[in-house]
Amino acid sequence: QVQLVESGGGLVQLGGSLRLSCAASGVIFSSYAMGWYRQAPGKQRELVASITSGGSTNYADSVKGRFTISRDNAKDTVYLQMNSLKPEDTAVYYCNAAKAWYDYWGQGTQVTVSS
């Protein structure tokens, strides 16, 4: 059974930082591309950052220079370091694991940035 469990969300002030973690189980983690998505109230889910099995990264324009995605294959965990947070970063953040036709999602973790 595949599980993706996010943690690290919470309430932070404008300009603050948070580090999200997503621990995977039930998959060969190192072979999957991993991504962080977010969904704000009334908006569609959007890609925030992704990292391939080889370590190549991709970021949404809105978070470039502020967020960093990384992975630790020894711990089957992907991270999202979020700095200089803004109120518009407020959303539920979801972890995703994808390979070929396989696509798995975590349950989400709330990030709220207060001004």
The residue with tokens 């109120």 is: 87
Which element (helix H / strand E) includes 51? strand 46-51
The pLDDT of 87-104, averaged and rounded, is 96
How do residues 19-32 score in pLDDT, each as one tens digit?
999 999 998 999 99
pLDDT of residue 1: 87
The pLDDT of 41-56, averaged and rounded, is 97
Strand pairing partners for 12?
Answer: 113
Return mean pLDDT, the chain: 97
